[in-house]
Structure formats: C-alpha cells, structure tokens
Structure 1
Amino acid sequence: MRLRARFKLWLFRVRRFSSKYRQGRHTSADLSKIIITKTASGEISLGDYVICAGELYSFFNKGVISIGDCSYVGQGTRIWSLSRVDIGNRVLISHDCFICDNLTHPVDARVRHQQYMAKHGYPFPAAIELEECPITIGDDAWIAAGVTILRGVTIGQGSIIAAGSVVTKNIPAGVIAAGNPAIMVKQLETGHFGGDVVNGIA
C-alpha cells in the first residue's frame, strides 16, 4: 500500500472506523463508501488483494460484512447488512449490484412512515422489524452486472449469476443462474473453479 493510501486509511480509522473496519494486504477500497462507526456492534472486514469500489453499509451499525481474499466489488454496487453478509475468496461482483440481508423498510406502513420522518428530525420508531437473514456467497462465484441478491440467500461455490438477475432463493454450487427470479440454466464443470489459483498462477 502506498504511503498516501496508508495515511488515508489511518485517518479514516482515527476519525470514523476504529477497529470496526479492517482491510488486508494489497487491498484497495473507496473509504468514503464504507459506512460504519466506531461504536458499531457489527464490523466490516476485507481480506488480502481485495478491490472494493462499491458501498459497504453496516445497517444501523449492527451488520457484519466479510469479503475474502482476491475478491472484487465494482462501482455502483451496494452491500447492506443488518445481520451478516459473507463473501468468499476470489469472488467477482460486478457493477451496479444490490446485495441486502434485510427489508430496509418495515412492512407496517405506519412504522415505515415514522422511519422516513426520522430523516426530518422526528423520533425514530421505538421498534422496527426488518426481517434480516444472512447472505452467503461462496468462493469463486461471479455476480454479473445489475444483479440483486435478497436476504437469506446462499450462492454456492463457483456459480455464476447472469446480469440483471434477481436472486430470491439459494443457488447450488457450480451452476449458471439467470432470470427474475433466478433459476439454474446450466451446470458448470468442476474444473471451472479457481481454488488452486494463487496470485494469478495455477
């Protein structure tokens, strides 16, 4: 990491993150898009050789986001967690994806209105239910541009989610899935997984 990048990371940790945000060696992230505070109960952690140009948001400072080694998060992608989002190693997440482990707004319209009015200085709802449920994306997965992944979903190792898909249910390992809702359209050969690749060399 260059000296300027190290200084910027140090400054953000002192002012905003403390130990609630961690990143590994040779990792680059847009720190202005990491949303978590020093007092959060959740945390955000990035492994080694990660490039993250998207937004990582610990919802209500409770969510946990973990991104494994050699993974990529593209511009315009938002990953929001109130529970937990676990992303494996060597995962490619393209541009303009939305990955969220909660509803973001309550189903009850009255509480939803209270939540909105809190943006204008009114009291925040005393109780709010967002039905959060963890998301897991396995090693070597590829999430193409414009994909939405909803709460409670697991995407298996090596699977590919086609551009523009909406993933509402679990996707098994080693498949291509597409559509809204996303379904399996093709089985991949196991040799397509990248588990034996280290630093770009097999």
Structure 2
Amino acid sequence: MKTEKQKMLAGEPYQAWDKELYAARIECRKVLQKLNNSIPDTPEWEAATQELIPGCENAHLEPPFRCDYGSNIKLGKNFYANFNCVILDVAEVTIGDNVLLGPNVQILTAGHPLEVKGRVEEGVEFGTPINVGDNVWLGGGVIICPGVTIGENSVIGAGSVVTKDIPANVVAVGNPCKVLKAIDNA
C-alpha cells in the first residue's frame, strides 16, 4: 500500500493533510523562514537556499520566496526568482539553466477535484509536473498551471496565465497564454 507521499509524487490523488506531508511542509516553512529573514548574498541566505533546494548552482531567490516542500524543485544553473515567487511543488518542477522569473510569478503543480466531496470534505489533491526549458524568461505575474511545459529560449509576457504547453523560441502572452511570435535566436 502506497503512502500519501508516494501517491503525491506519482501524480495520484492523495490526502493533503496527511501527517507525514504536513510535517514536511512545516520543515520547509522553517527553512523558508531562514531564507526570507536573511539578506541575499550572505552566508545565512546561501545556506538556507542550499538547504531548501540542495545542489542548486548560482540560484538567487529574492525574499520572500514560497514553496510547499522545496525537495520537488530541480533548478538548473543561474536561476533567478524575483520577489514573491510561489512554487507549489507537490509534483516535480524542473527548471533549466539561465531561467529568469519576474516578481509575483506562480508555478502551480497542485490540482483539486471538481467535486465538492473530494475537494472540500475529503481534502484530496493531486499534482502534475511542470517543466521550464533553458533560457526562459517569465515576466512579472505569470502563472503556470499544472502539467505545462515551456520550451527553451521562450519569453512569457507579464500577467500571462499559461494553461497549455508553449513551444521553444517564442514570445507568448495573454490569458490564456498564446504564442505571439517566433524568436530568431540565430
């Protein structure tokens, strides 16, 4: 029989208020408190960043930064998240090298049943992974919905709500986000 954490990581419905998952979120909050109460580029800030997302290389998380677990976030080199970034990482979030996030970006892997019984009465959630390619720029206030992949070198305009995959080498904008034009990266 699978644990709720195993179900969560497999993308299956799980009980969000499971004791093991709740404890992991609380431990994450403790690390986030250290990160968000430190000054960037200090030893305390660097230690908290590494504790939150082990192995990240040259990641810059502007406080305040929020996530569920941290352990489900995989960052490439030279990542930058501006103020108020939220990553709901109940499923894996994979972000490539040289990715830049404007302020108030939300990356949301969590989903909920449409039926009241599952969503409210039973507290069921599920997650779908998100992938962001190398050299992507997400403008301020961008929201990425569960299951989305954004191709390398693409730019997502400020305020966009990304509900479907975006190909590589494009500018995409809007709600819902749509490709506006190709980018010639030659």
TM-score normalised by structure 2 residue count: 0.68
Residue in structure 2 matched with residue 88 of structure 1 by the alignment: 96
**What is the CA–CA distance in structure 1 between the aligned matches of 2:108 and 2:102, rounded to whole Å?**
15
Relative to structure 1, is the Cα distance of residues 62 and 157 closer, same or farther in structure 2, using a 3 angstrom cutoff? closer
RMSD: 3.1
**What is the CA–CA distance in structure 2 between the aligned matches of 1:183 and 1:45, rounded to whole Å?**
34
Residue in structure 1 matched with residue 34 of structure 2 by the alignment: none
What SS class does the counterpart of residue 184 from structure 1 fall into? strand
Deviation by residue 1:94-142 (Cα, 9 ceiling, x = unmatched)? 1001111122x4422234334xxxxxxxxxx4x7243x21100000000
Relative to structure 1, is the Cα distance of residues 62 and 138 closer, same or farther in structure 2, using a 3 angstrom cutoff? closer
Residue in structure 2 matched with residue 140 of structure 1 by the alignment: 135
Is 1:113 matched with 2:108?
A: no
What SS class does the counterpart of residue 169 from structure 1 fall into? coil
Identity of aligned residues (%): 32
Is 1:55 matched with 2:65?
A: yes
1:76 maps to amino acid? N
Relative to structure 1, is the Cα distance of residues 176 and 88 closer, same or farther in structure 2, using a 3 angstrom cutoff? same
Native 8 Å contact 2:173 2:179 kept in 1:
yes
TM-score normalised by structure 1 residue count: 0.63
Shift of 1:82: 1.0
Task: Could you tell me which runs of 5 or more consecutive residues in structure 2 were left unpaired when the two chains were aligned.
Answer: 1-26, 32-41
**What is the CA–CA distance in structure 2 between the aligned matches of 1:109 and 1:44, rounded to whole Å?**
34
Greater relative contact order, per chain length (Cα 8 Å cut-off, separation 6+):
2
The alignment of Structure 1 onto Structure 2 pairs a total of residues equal to: 147
